[in-house]
Each structure stands twice: as structure tokens, then as C-alpha cells.
């Protein structure tokens, strides 16, 4: 993800336009891994304004698939 998907300009723009990204590191941020029930990395969570998980993604995604997942997350969040 760090070398293929995240550096992608379209992914970067989509994240900037629709999300506030936060990155936790395994080990250093263990309490967050426990909080969100992380069982595999990479893991991605879309949270609502109250900090509740509304969408979860686990594993590697191509840039196109990553954006598709974000679109699905936004659609689900809009229904809440």
C-alpha cells in the first residue's frame, strides 16, 4: 500500500477531498489496534463523527479498488 496505492495521485486527492486520514503504527499504537479489533494489517476504518466504525477494509487494494471501497463507505455513511 505504501509503495503502490497510497502514492497514487487519484487516491491522495480522494482522501484529501473526503476524509481526515489518521495512521496508527503496530506496536507503538497497540491500544488503537485493540480498540478497533485489528486482526490483520493493513486495516482501514471509516469512522463517523462520534468515532464509531461505519466501514472496515482489510488487506491490500489497488488504487482503483481502494477508491471503490471509499465510495461504498461514503454511501453507507450517508444512510446513517
pLDDT in tens, 50-67: 989 999 999 999 999 999
Name residues of the chain where pLDDT drops below 50. Answer: none
Distance (Å, whole) CA 46 – CA 19: 8
In this structure, what are the phi and psi dihedrals at residue 75, rounded to the nearest 5 degrees?
-65, -40
Which pLDDT value is given to residue 9? Answer: 95
Which pLDDT value is given to residue 79? Answer: 85
Q: Is residue 69 part of a domain?
A: yes
| Residues 59, 42 contacting (CB under 8 angstroms) | yes
Which pLDDT value is given to residue 6? Answer: 92
* Number of domains the chain is built from: 1
Distance (Å, whole) CA 42 – CA 36: 13
Which pLDDT value is given to residue 71? Answer: 95
Domain that holds residue 55: 9-79
Q: Is residue 67 part of a domain?
A: yes
Task: Spell 48-77 as b/e; 16+ CB within 10 A means b.
Answer: eeeeeebbebeeebebeebbebbeebeeee
The CATH number given to whatever domain includes residue 34 is 3.40.30.10
Which pLDDT value is given to residue 17? Answer: 95
Q: Is residue 1 part of a domain?
A: no
Q: Is residue 54 part of a domain?
A: yes
Question: Is this prediction's pTM over 0.75?
Answer: yes
Amino acid at each position: 500500500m505504501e509503495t503502490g496505492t497510497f502514492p497514487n495521485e487519484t487516491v491522495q486527492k480522494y482522501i484529501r477531498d473526503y476524509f481526515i486520514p489518521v495512521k496508527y503504527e503496530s506496536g507503538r499504537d497497540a491500544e488503537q489496534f485493540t480498540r478497533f479489533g485489528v486482526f490483520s494489517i493493513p486495516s482501514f476504518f471509516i469512522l463517523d463523527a462520534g468515532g464509531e466504525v461505519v466501514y472496515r477494509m482489510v488487506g491490500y487494494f489497488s488504487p482503483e479498488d481502494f477508491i471503490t471501497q471509499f465510495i461504498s463507505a461514503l454511501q453507507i455513511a450517508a444512510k446513517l
